[in-house]
Structure 1
């Protein structure tokens, strides 16, 4: 039987339903915030359309499909190690619920004002977390990804950076990383701030410098201010926004931040925005795409890049006119959707299917 390292590597290299046929990735942004003509393709949680998200297998597959950047979401363990999970709650992305020795760790917390029951990274040491295995987060949508349940560990941020370094050598191009700080205020109140270990890790790896292929993103403007003003990060920062609501513990709405005045203020400490894609092209009442908003032009006028999220291939995530058939989990016209958005002048996109993103940008 192959050992775990062989299984991980084989799982990463074998591409599930790849779209590309001889299409290669060209460098997008030469480094930092300096663009050329190619928009960025960011592997959202790796190639999470084909492998369980936030695993080394998912990140490696994204790179081999041509993604320019890998996007790890960062949370933290009880002993202060940054690990890659979509949320601090890990009941939905690991096999922790099947481990009787951890049954007593299940509890309910208030996460950014919402009551959440489950198992949380900050209740586990890294050694304990490494005994768990990743599972597909949305198995009803991506049944094929459940084939890999139980094979892959929860990676640390350092392990992702090590993978980036190795793949950059193997692929002959400088692969980027696009980490997101998840719920930074929540973790700060637990005495487990994300900022210091993030900055420390980037600097230890020689990646906090102008021109490094790194962007740091957050849904909390205050968190980005701390990184810019207190920690003096040299790499570009990106403010993520939701189509509704406010950043946690912030009286200002996302909509207010994305007005021309709000964007001008953001430009004092960030280099780009990551809007929910409906903020670039909203959907009409019938679920079809409407007319583009002025957001891309407004952001560019403020000197900010625009990289919306999240582009997925399944019908249920696509506008009504681009769905194919009636099965919500079947693939629709995802290439068409990405081409339509790229034609608005966005500077990149986050996609669960990096091969589709790489192909789409060749068609614009």
Structure 2
């Protein structure tokens, strides 16, 4: 280790010397005010404008999605410190594992080629799919997994903004491709984290925890490491750190993980969050799912509740629709409410400018999404009408400002 390059461990020690971050030193920055200015005139805009100048306070309603990756490399010390400074009361580590079965923070087990500099290092030779340059209509491609690296090797990588230039003919050029509404201004010196390091950092920042157990890109069991071992190891790291179960919202898209925690770690299972991936909305509770096909069947909301599931987290667009030109709760949201499920949703501020409909996260309300002020309009419906308990955001200041203004 050189003096000029802090390790994540050194940054964590530094963070513990900054307790003021837990309660003071919070700031919104200019973005919430920019969004208010973009809103259509009306009572909501007037209410939010009246809150300009309020003192920021931390709120669990505001959840840092991988930290604050609108401008910081995701799942880094710096990204999460930025989110905490914006008042995010809950921070996320997406959890996967290395070759030596150590838990680290990555959005996917196979994203190192787009989130780190691995392709420009000697570790590129360990990638399951080596870099292949663009050729004619065929885009450049690569795939690099944490499961191919030991923890020591993983920690030598430098994080970058999640992006790839699919027209690249060299690994160096492939490092680009960052969306125009993001930036690489804050990538220099950014630090990767293990899951255990994230726990220490988030605790020092005064935040609660929402780790997501990511689906492995490798076949399980992996060298004897079963899915149950994986699910248990994640919880064990909170227990080893002395973190109360009430401060942990463990997530998974795999319902079997949620049910494992409910049965084997009931204190943690009570707040386990099922990331519901039924993405085809309809007037039926089951969506467009075939109940006779075990590979696609999803339980109804009431069946989930009967299983002991207390929290679900669908994408934002599943919770809303448009009626008479207004954003209103969807049938999905109403069924979840009827079953008494707590709802968390994702991901605000991930879509960039909204002038052209907002893309995937706004697809159910694209007809009324024509300016950046719709971020606050959607957030208001999610909070007041759907009754969500928290909102993931790539720029938590927006959610924090809204929650502080509304007394959430």
TM range, smaller chain:
0.7 to 0.9
Which residue, out of 57, 61, 79, partners 2:100?
79
Instruction: Report the CA distance between 1:86 and its aligned residue.
Output: 0.7
Matches within 5 A, 1:72-221: 72-89=93-110, 90-99=112-121, 101-108=122-129, 117-138=142-163, 139-141=177-179, 144-168=182-206, 175-183=207-215, 186=218, 188-190=220-222, 191-192=224-225, 193=227, 194-209=230-245, 212-221=246-255
Change in CA separation of 1:335 and 1:225 when aligned onto 2, cut-off 3 Å:
same
What SS class does the counterpart of residue 308 from structure 1 fall into?
A: strand
In 2: Cα distance, 1:6 partner to 1:323 partner: 43
Instruction: Report the CA distance between 1:23 and its aligned residue.
Output: 3.6
What is the aligned partner in structure 2 of residue 25 from structure 1? 57
Deviation digits for residues 168-224 of structure 1 (CA, Å, limit 9, x no counterpart): 2xxxxxx10100000059563324442132121011011253xx3110010000111
Whether contact under 8 Å (1:23, 1:359) holds in the other structure is no
Change in CA separation of 1:238 and 1:6 when aligned onto 2, cut-off 3 Å:
closer
In 2: Cα distance, 1:93 partner to 1:185 partner: 16
Instruction: Report the CA distance between 1:126 and its aligned residue.
Output: 0.8
Whether contact under 8 Å (1:81, 1:197) holds in the other structure is no
Matches within 5 A, 1:268-283: 268-282=307-321
Which residue, out of 261, 267, 276, partners 1:227?
261
* Residue ranges of structure 2 left out of the alignment (5+ in a row): 16-20, 34-52, 131-140, 164-176, 281-287
Whether contact under 8 Å (2:312, 2:344) holds in the other structure is yes
* Residue ranges of structure 1 left out of the alignment (5+ in a row): 29-39, 110-115, 169-174, 325-330
In 2: Cα distance, 1:263 partner to 1:294 partner: 16
What SS class does the counterpart of residue 146 from structure 1 fall into?
A: coil
What is the aligned partner in structure 1 of residue 294 from structure 2? 251
Instruction: Report the CA distance between 1:277 and its aligned residue.
Output: 1.2
Whether contact under 8 Å (1:322, 1:336) holds in the other structure is no
What SS class does the counterpart of residue 275 from structure 2 fall into?
A: strand
What's the RMSD between the two structures over aligned residues?
3.3
Question: What is the TM-score with the length of structure 1 in the denominator?
Answer: 0.77
In 1: Cα distance, 2:185 partner to 2:5 partner: 15
In 2: Cα distance, 1:81 partner to 1:96 partner: 18
In 1: Cα distance, 2:211 partner to 2:237 partner: 12
In 1: Cα distance, 2:156 partner to 2:99 partner: 15
Instruction: Report the CA distance between 1:158 and its aligned residue.
Output: 1.1
What is the aligned partner in structure 2 of residue 323 from structure 1? 370
Change in CA separation of 1:310 and 1:283 when aligned onto 2, cut-off 3 Å:
farther
Instruction: Report the CA distance between 1:289 and its aligned residue.
Output: 6.8
Change in CA separation of 1:340 and 1:261 when aligned onto 2, cut-off 3 Å:
closer
In 2: Cα distance, 1:82 partner to 1:154 partner: 12
Whether contact under 8 Å (1:311, 1:350) holds in the other structure is yes
What is the aligned partner in structure 2 of residue 264 from structure 1? 305
